[in-house]
Structure 1
Amino acid sequence: MVGMLTRVGVQCALFVALWFVFLSHDSPYARHKFRKYSHRHGPHGEASVQVASTKDDFSWETVVPSEALTWTDCYSGNQCARLKVPLDYSHPDAAFATIAMRRIQSTVSHDSPDYRGPILLNPGGPGGSGVDFIASWGSPISTIVGPEFDLIGFDPRGIGRSTPRVSFYKSRVERELWAGSGDSAKVLSMNASADTLARSWARAIVDGTLAGERDDGSLRFINTDHTARDMLRIVKAHGREKLQYWGFSYGSVLGATFASMFPDNVGRLVIDGVVDSENYFAVEWSNNLLDTDKTWMQFINGCVAAGPMGCALFAPTAAEILENVDRLETSLRARPIPVRTSISFGLVDYSTLRRTIFKALYSPYAQFPTLAQALADLSAGNATALFKMSESPGFQCGCDPSEYRFESVGEAGSAVLCNDGKRIPQDYEGVLAHYQKLSKTSSFADLWEPVRMSCLAWPDFPKTHFQGPFVANTSFPVLLIGNTADPVTPLWAAKKMSQGFAGSVVLTQDSPGHCSLSGPSICTQKHVRQYFLDGILPPPDTVCPVIASPFPAEDFKTGMDQQAVLALSAADRSLSEAVRELSMSFDIRFPAGL
């Protein structure tokens, strides 16, 4: 173990110098403009990030759904398809759903013996769009896995461009009036006021009631069991029997479900940011926050270590920074701050601060320095930077309903997680007891409790779909990846889930953040590539380092070894660029609305 870590450390030392070349002011990567984001509503009200570059520049209506895969050129050099699958696999000929897919095609000819087939990607949620995921991060992920593979992002049934699409509302305007797109759409801290928990409980009852009233008969089939079956249909439509898959966050539940249902159809299966699937299907949501406070302390301690030049919120001790944040929370609870920007306006209040801090824990390399500056500005009375960290453009009313036919909506995520799990009692006392118990696990329970509440008053559908056990002797061993300080999918869950899959291996990445792509680890992604390409699993107990801190110290820049940079191969330089881009932009939510 020690020898393996030593070899990894020597290897990664070469990349440290290259990392700071990227960070230098003259580097083209430091000037790289990452994709612009628009915001739509997540399953619990808050705007979830969707990529503006995925705005349909061709009509999905022109892609005719078929049971045989027919690819159509779309976007910029990609291909799109819509696959017909049974709506209800118990009655496969009764009605159909369609699954929208977007593909980055392998640069290796499909007739070549070097071609390795498709890898399906799922960005989590539930409710995440694979079509959007390919637009956001498909290119650097393709660099990681290699040119031998097609990458396919799909919108799971009920979501985005797949049909039938989940909707609780008669129109976009009705959704806007109830769920909102500004401050009214944001997840509130359950500690924001004396009645916040009760009001959130009452709104969740309304949502569940609407779900049942507006159901056209298709809602009960929007679940993980059926999506796993859809993935097998996609694989077989490619003329293959074995699934190759990389699933993130909730995508780990989907991957574990597929492996348990179809163990003989596993080719290569990576689940990254692993959820305790048993806890998920039980609708407990009780052990996700085991490492959240640890992640928060990585921000605090990293700021201290970075010094006043590396962290805008610097203080000599962690206790002083924590006291500063406590003062900000107390001040905002008493008096919110109004903000007006060039594109929107609103308030920065206690919930805004709590939510922004929690969201930053998902993507430390992308957000820790920005959060530190925003908190420092807030200490000086300026709330604009903090507001902009979750700013969203105002709602735009459209006159043509077809323009928004394939728009992602937040209630789709609620449909999946509430259909998947058991019904939960809707009495307020039960919700209060759950919240009080969760509060003993983490100081961020105030933002997590609404996840479970979204299933209150959910329609009483039969729960006959697969819900475990998650035990299988798969045809090829599963690779699980967990970070040492993941705010919502603790490493503990990856180790627990691995026990059910014979021969599986847990790869640990020593970094904060949600899923491996939130941190820059050459080591991790080389193991991922070896697994997909050659079927080589990392040795048990492998721990991969990252090549920099979210708060890089200035002295590393001045001391970088140019010879080490020159010693890197072209392939390693390309991989370094990919992991750097991903760590500076990767941001998926679990659940999608947080």
Structure 2
Amino acid sequence: MGTRLRGPLAVLLTGAVLVSGCTAGGDMADEDGGGDGTRVDVAEQELLWEECDSGLPGSECTVFEVPLDYEAPDGERIEIAVKRFPATGDDVIGSLLVNPGGPGGSGFDFVDHAPYTVSEAVRESFDVVGFDPRGVGRSTPLTCLDAEEIDDYLGTDYGGGEADDLADLSPEGLDQIEAKSRAFVEACEENDPELMRNIGTADVARDMDVLRGLLGDEQLTYLGASYGTHIGAQYAEQFPERVRALVLDGAVDPSQDQLSVSVQQATGFETALRSFVEDCLTRPDCPLGSPGDSVDQGIAVLDDFLADTAAEPLSSATDDDREVNRARAELGVLAALYTENWWPRVREALTDAMEGGDGTGLLLLGDDLYGRGDLAEYENSTAALVAVNCSDSEAPREVEAYAEAAAEAAQESPMFGPMLAWGALTCAFWPEEAVAPLAELNAPGTDPIMVVGTTRDSATPYAWSEALAAQLDSGFLVTRDGDGHTGYRMGDDCVDTMVDDYLLELAVPDDGMACAGPRADEVG
């Protein structure tokens, strides 16, 4: 779960949003198009729950409406799709709203994984509720590129041939990446210019407050992972008095602009890459070397393999025309850096590719990251990912800034750093009037907010969790010492207990509590 890669060059996450003049979603009103023309407050909607067509047995589904533009509340409305898994116990506290990250991740689908992502004790006491944020999935979706165009967008090698070096693009490669980035923005503009201007996280937080009210909860209880932490922090900034408990797991640092996020993220991916290679080298089936080889030796083998795919793409058994070039091979390898659960699958895919020239496994891993559920269609998560990232914080408008950032990122992560930096280039062309100014989120006046950080998190470096916990006036940090993305329900009983006690009983451990194995020790 959590934040995923974006674009052919994989930049992730969001920056900060400064909200001014915001009121609760329940205060918004617009015209009821189906009756006597009287004004109807969005808070007066009724959630009409029905049995869901698919997913977790017993779950219920509905939709509600929100203003497309909260500054024009009497204008167009859009739909938000919601799924609920009712509490299994008799002593129900209320609703637990959840979001898995992205941007572009489906909170609606996330509810189906509640038996694994939320403890039994929490499920007994809370209705688990997820929604697709505006622009995503079953809610009113933003569509930019079609499936063939996304294939092209994700599969472009910008360096070309054996000289593939994203830290120092050729003039031809630079022209190509700039053209691809502009084309993405132009496609969003052509398909839905109003939604692309009203898709930022500040508006998602307002939608979530409307939902909180419709669910009948006086205050919000929320579990957000990865980018979902930004939704929670934005909520606290806008509605501090309505916060009951927020768990922000694998945090985004809202004080960083879009390009800085990309460069800093290189450190997380480099750390995760070294952990993956170190583990691989202890196994007899590791394609990167043998027990006794150093991590640097294993990474060198992987780097040589990726360079070879730039010169000679791999074959694939999928029934389409995609070549498994360096860009697509890298996406497959990056899948390993999100969770240890994928390490065996990536080792097998690398073995097939390096020993048999078969890139099918790597290609399918990349498809999983980007929501390509079949060979004909993508989910719209890529469009939402780009749109939210570019809307949520400022980014440089000069292409030269991205070249400098690519060189800087290469120092932290030679293999993946440059593509993280170049992946932010789409934001250079996003409509300026749709971009929120940069600011910290402090959320003064809230009850205590839990931030969970994992020391070797790939997608959201641990330093970001430290930063968010420090920025939030009531933030406190819980640390998981481990690999993989996010901390709750990742195999550490210590973290799980602290999260559960906080959600259920509002128990607040000492700030800086660190979990290493079965017990908690105070650090710092």
- For the aligned pair, the TM-score class normalised by the smaller chain equals 0.7 to 0.9
Structure 1, 73-82 or 314-323: larger mean CA deviation: 314-323
Paired residue for 2:204? 227
Matched residues in 2 for 1:518 and 1:352: separation?
A: 30
The alpha carbon displacement at 1:189 in A equals 6.9
Matched residues in 2 for 1:283 and 1:292: separation?
A: 15
Matched, 1:478 2:478: no
Q: Which runs of 4+ in 1 moved over 6 A?
A: 309-312
The alpha carbon displacement at 1:470 in A equals 1.1
Question: With structure 1 as the length reference, what TM-score do the two structures score?
Answer: 0.71
Aligned residue identity for 1:125:
G
Q: 1:258 aligns with which of 213, 235, 241?
A: 235
Q: 1:336 aligns with which of 310, 313, 326?
A: 313
Aligned residue identity for 1:455:
C
Paired residue for 2:365? 389
Q: 2:49 aligns with which of 71, 74, 77?
A: 71
Q: 1:81 aligns with which of 37, 59, 62?
A: 62
Paired residue for 1:532? 503
Paired residue for 2:20? none
The alpha carbon displacement at 1:409 in A equals 4.7
User: Equivalent residues in 2 for 1:250-289 (5 A)?
Assistant: 250-280=227-257, 285-289=262-266
The alpha carbon displacement at 1:201 in A equals 1.9
Matched residues in 2 for 1:311 and 1:340: separation?
A: 21
Matched residues in 1 for 2:458 and 2:311: separation?
A: 28
Gap change, CA 1:507 and 1:413, over 3 Å in 2: same
Structure 1, 378-387 or 115-124: larger mean CA deviation: 378-387
Q: Percent identity?
A: 26
Aligned residue identity for 1:71:
W
Matched, 1:185 2:154: yes
Structure 1, 519-528 or 283-292: larger mean CA deviation: 283-292
Matched, 1:155 2:132: yes
Paired residue for 1:455? 427
Matched residues in 2 for 1:43 and 1:378: separation?
A: 24
Paired residue for 1:353? 329
Number of positions where the alignment pairs a residue of Structure 1 with one of Structure 2: 466
CA displacement 1:198-234 (0-9 Å, x = unmatched): 4122110122223334435333221111111111111
Paired residue for 1:242? 219
Matched residues in 1 for 2:155 and 2:517: separation?
A: 33
Matched, 1:371 2:358: no
Gap change, CA 1:459 and 1:283, over 3 Å in 2: farther
The answer as to whether partners of 2:96 and 2:222 remain within 8 angstroms in 1 is: yes
Structure 1, 485-494 or 346-355: larger mean CA deviation: 346-355
The answer as to whether partners of 1:313 and 1:375 remain within 8 angstroms in 2 is: no
Gap change, CA 1:141 and 1:340, over 3 Å in 2: closer
User: Equivalent residues in 2 for 1:416-431 (5 A)?
Assistant: 416-422=388-394, 424-425=396-397, 427-431=398-402
The answer as to whether partners of 1:81 and 1:102 remain within 8 angstroms in 2 is: yes
Matched residues in 1 for 2:289 and 2:352: separation?
A: 9
Matched, 1:93 2:74: yes
The answer as to whether partners of 2:288 and 2:301 remain within 8 angstroms in 1 is: no
2:147 alignment partner, SS class: helix
Gap change, CA 1:141 and 1:198, over 3 Å in 2: same
Matched residues in 2 for 1:424 and 1:308: separation?
A: 46
Gap change, CA 1:333 and 1:81, over 3 Å in 2: same
1:355 alignment partner, SS class: helix
Aligned residue identity for 1:487:
S
CA displacement 1:356-392 (0-9 Å, x = unmatched): 222210112x121222333344442343444443356
Aligned residue identity for 2:446:
S
2:78 alignment partner, SS class: strand
Paired residue for 2:29? none
Gap change, CA 1:518 and 1:285, over 3 Å in 2: farther
The alpha carbon displacement at 1:525 in A equals 1.4
The answer as to whether partners of 1:312 and 1:369 remain within 8 angstroms in 2 is: no
Gap change, CA 1:442 and 1:157, over 3 Å in 2: same
Matched residues in 2 for 1:218 and 1:355: separation?
A: 29
2:205 alignment partner, SS class: helix
The alpha carbon displacement at 1:546 in A equals 5.5
Aligned residue identity for 2:84:
R
Paired residue for 1:325? 302
Instruction: Let me know the Cα RMSD of the aligned residues.
Output: 3.1
Q: Structure 2 regions of 5+ residues with no counterpart?
A: 11-41, 160-164, 519-524
1:161 alignment partner, SS class: coil
Question: With structure 2 as the length reference, what TM-score do the two structures score?
Answer: 0.80
The alpha carbon displacement at 1:503 in A equals 3.7
User: Which structure would you say has the larger RCO, counting Cα contacts within 8 Å and 6 or more residues apart?
Assistant: 1
Gap change, CA 1:254 and 1:154, over 3 Å in 2: same
The answer as to whether partners of 1:313 and 1:372 remain within 8 angstroms in 2 is: no
User: Equivalent residues in 2 for 1:391-410 (5 A)?
Assistant: 395-396=375-376, 408-410=380-382
Matched residues in 2 for 1:388 and 1:179: separation?
A: 15
Matched residues in 2 for 1:212 and 1:523: separation?
A: 47
Aligned residue identity for 1:123:
P
CA displacement 1:88-130 (0-9 Å, x = unmatched): 2223233322211001111234xxxx21111111111111111
1:271 alignment partner, SS class: strand
Q: Structure 1 regions of 5+ residues with no counterpart?
A: 1-36, 48-64, 170-174, 398-403, 548-594
User: Equivalent residues in 2 for 1:409-448 (5 A)?
Assistant: 409-422=381-394, 424-425=396-397, 427-443=398-414, 444-448=416-420
Matched residues in 2 for 1:459 and 1:347: separation?
A: 33
Matched residues in 2 for 1:214 and 1:302: separation?
A: 45
Matched residues in 2 for 1:282 and 1:326: separation?
A: 25
The answer as to whether partners of 1:212 and 1:458 remain within 8 angstroms in 2 is: no
The answer as to whether partners of 1:312 and 1:373 remain within 8 angstroms in 2 is: no
Paired residue for 2:38? none
Gap change, CA 1:231 and 1:542, over 3 Å in 2: same
Matched, 1:519 2:490: yes
The answer as to whether partners of 1:283 and 1:452 remain within 8 angstroms in 2 is: no
